[in-house]
Chain A
Amino acid sequence: ETGVTQTPRHLVMGMTNKKSLKCEQHLGHNAMYWYKQSAKKPLELMFVYNFKEQTENNSVPSRFSPECPNSSHLFLHLHTLQPEDSALYLCASSQDGGRNTGELFFGEGSRLTVL
């Protein structure tokens, strides 16, 4: 596999469920990101990890819990979500630190619907 892979592509969950989104990148990058994309809104950065360490949390509610076990894998654990959390969740990766050109490589996204 190449690029950035996200699973599942579609997820429907109730407000009391617990689920996880998974992202895997095969590009040798060391920075990984979670973005939220809602209709009629620009991409919202949620979390950034550099070399497995969280370097940015953009005031995201605690019902979203990221996990980065290594530079190739990123998870987003979801619990007690609200209907307004329904959106497309995008994972991205980029080169690390000083070599970072800013170019982001995105996965195809996980479409989340909260009932």
Chain B
Amino acid sequence: EDQVTQSPEALRLQEGESSSLNCSYTVSGLRGLFWYRQDPGKGPEFLFTLYSAGEEKEKERLKATLTKKESFLHITAPKPEDSATYLCAVYTNAGKSTFGDGTTLTVKP
């Protein structure tokens, strides 16, 4: 059974304090790993897709990396507007998507 585990469950940072979110996965046949951002009361918004180990993607203060067992979402010098829940999902060769529980990030000014 495909499993996705995100840690920590919640993360509180001061503005400018860099950190990383983790997404560990166990799947049979990874086709892609996705990061989404979800603001309260809204639907998830796509951030990145990673397809193979060693791949990295960047967008503003966010950088996503992928290994054969996990993915990290690095946040450099975060701002309060980066506060949101970040969801990780794996997409398999069987065409199935499995989501993690998410990490809720709060950035204090």
A residues lining the B interface (CB < 8 Å): 4, 6, 40-43, 45, 88, 90, 92, 100-109, 111
Contacts and interface: CB of A to CB of B under 8 A. Distances in A.
Interface residues of B, number: 22
Interface of B: 4, 31-32, 34, 36, 41-46, 49, 87, 89, 91, 95, 97-102
A106 B91 contact: no
Nearest to B95: A100
Given A42-B4, A42-B102, A104 B97 contact: yes
Contacts of B102: 42
Contact of B97 (A40, A102, A109): A102
Contact of A111 (B4, B41, B46): B41
State the main secondary structure of chain A at its contact with B: loop
A99 B91 CA distance: 13
Given A42-B4, A43-B87, A101-B32, A106 B45 contact: yes
Chain A CB within 10 A, most for which of B43, B99, B100: B43
A104 B43 CA distance: 11
A32 B86 CA distance: 22
B97 A4 contact: no
Chain B CB within 10 A, most for which of A4, A40, A45, A106: A106
